[in-house]
Amino acid sequence: MGLWARITRIFRASTGAALDKIENPELVLQQTIRDMRDRVPELNNSVAQVMATERLLLKNHENLEKQVVDLDSKIKASVKMGRDDIATAYIGQLQQAQLDKERTSAQLEHASLASKQALKARDNYVLNMKKRTAEAMQLISAAKQAKLQEQLAQTMETFNIGDDASTFNEMREKIDRRVAAAEAKLQLGTSSVDTQMADIEREAMDIQLHDKLLEYKQQMGMLGSGSGNAGGKQITAGSDEKVLEDVIVKETNEAAN
């Protein structure tokens, strides 16, 4: 292989590869559909010309038929009138008209066949165009789907789940620290000096109420002479329990006011 042939082959291979790379199947198919549709008016025009020729020949054939009938009538009239010279002239015209009629009949037959074939070819082209258009639309849809899948694949290739995982872990640690700090503040708030003082005050109130109760029970003679705090904690049955409950409710309401 010569040097020039090798260079030509390399150039053609490089050009073909570049064209394959930049060629968009979707655009090519759309242009193909437009080209097929653009040829329909031209094809219709050709078919119309063939049909017009057929109609013109048909009209000529009808005129020749009328001319033959008319000449035949004139010949008969001339013969009847004894004008053989005029009849002879009409006979010459009749023979020429008959020849023209036969020639026109042959042309009309060919034109009629050509018109049918042209219509059939046009109809076949339109059907094929519709079929190709439907196939092209399917291919275009497949090309769009392939393009979306390629974009998704590229996105997945550049997607690093480790980065997002580290972000989630970092945010989780921050939230855990905030929760722990809030719980610590709540615990400090519940165990503060003010809270402890409030507990002591409630305990002192209970002691005062208990002492007041013992005092009432002492005045009412409900406690023995040797009874201490232990005896004060014992409550008799019957009506004494009702009196004791009334005293406790009264003292509790006074303390609350």
Terminal CA-CA length for the chain: 120
pLDDT at 254: 59
pLDDT at 61: 92
pLDDT at 12: 64
pLDDT at 256: 55
pLDDT at 37: 84
Return the exposure string of 219-235: e unless at least 16 CB atoms fall within 10 Å of the residue's CB, then b: eeebbeeeeeeeebeee
State the Cα–Cα distance between residues 171 and 107, nearest whole angstrom.
93
Contact 97, 64 (CB under 8 A): yes
State the Cα–Cα distance between residues 68 and 98, nearest whole angstrom.
7
pLDDT at 209: 87
pLDDT at 129: 85
Return the exposure string of 79-116: e unless at least 16 CB atoms fall within 10 Å of the residue's CB, then b: eeeeeeeebeebbeebeebeebbeebeebbeebbeebe
pLDDT at 243: 52
Residue intervals in the chain for CATH 1.10.287: 7-159
pLDDT at 226: 47
pTM, two decimal places: 0.44
Q: What are phi and psi of 144, to 5 degrees?
A: -65, -45
pLDDT at 130: 86
The total of other beta-carbon atoms located within 10 Å of residue 118's CB is 19
pLDDT at 231: 42
pLDDT at 106: 92
| CATH 1.10.287 for the 7-159 domain, yes or no | yes
pLDDT at 145: 79
pLDDT at 195: 65
* Segment 49-104, tens digit of pLDDT: 989 998 999 999 999 999 999 999 999 999 999 888 898 998 999 999 999 999 99
Low-confidence ranges of the chain (pLDDT < 50): 226-239
pLDDT at 191: 56
The total of other beta-carbon atoms located within 10 Å of residue 133's CB is 15
pLDDT at 141: 81
